[in-house]
Structure 1
Amino acid sequence: MYKPLVKVHLWSGLRSLVGQEVVEVRATNVAQMLNALEKEHPALSDAIDAGVSVSIDGKIYAYGLTEAVDETKEIYLLQRIKGG
């Protein structure tokens, strides 16, 4: 199965861990993207495991692991905002 190369923009706290603002991984949905990020950039594992949100074309998903991603989407990995 073909997996597109998606560009993922990282929040500032993660950029210093990988040395770049944008990383590329192959994935067709958010779950695959997060797994690929952890595999290819192990320094991101703690932040991803702690909980992240993903912005796809301006819409934020906190739990949308099945949301589709591809090379045409604008994707940002965001720190999960907790409130009460």
Structure 2
Amino acid sequence: MSSVSVRIPTILRTYTGGEAEVTAEGATLRAVVADLEASYRGISARILDDNGKLRRFVNVYVGDEDVRFADGLDTATPAGAQISIIPAVAGG
């Protein structure tokens, strides 16, 4: 298993007990989200939609790479990778 570091946006910190960064396990983003859900019940519903796809208004980066332009939930998450979950901000 590869251990990665996940940056948690303020809006989701209620799930992580206020932690801004947590550690998760998984070789792909899908596995990392499943591991986050196992440790922080309810968090995956804020990241994934009812079809198990990334929500439209949530951007996820593995390192500097936007997973929407990589392999989505199948994007590799090598050991030591920094994953950032960034809710899109709407407005004008």
TM-score tier after normalising by the smaller chain length: 0.7 to 0.9
Over residues 39-70 of structure 1, what are the superposed CA-to-partner deviations in whole Å (9 max), with x where a residue is unaligned? 11103133123423311111212361111102
**What is the distance in 1 between the residues matched to 2:42 and 2:8?**
13
Q: Which runs of 5+ in 1 are unaligned?
A: none
> How many residues were matched structurally?
80
Of residues 61, 72, 77, the one that matches 1:69 is 77
**What is the distance in 1 between the residues matched to 2:82 and 2:44?**
22
Greater helix content: 1
Provide the identity percentage.
Answer: 20
Pick which of 28-37 and 59-68 moved more. Answer: 59-68
Distance 1:8 1:17, change over 3 A: same
Partner of 2:29: 30
Whichever residue aligns with residue 14 of structure 1, its letter is L
SS state of the match for residue 60, structure 2? strand
In the alignment, is residue 59 of structure 1 matched against residue 58 of structure 2?
no
Distance 1:80 1:39, change over 3 A: farther
**What is the distance in 1 between the residues matched to 2:12 and 2:20?**
8
List structure 1 segments (4+ residues) > 4 angstroms apart after TM superposition.
none
Deviation of residue 36 (structure 1)? 0.9
Pick which of 22-31 and 46-55 moved more. Answer: 46-55
Whichever residue aligns with residue 33 of structure 1, its letter is V
Deviation of residue 22 (structure 1)? 0.8
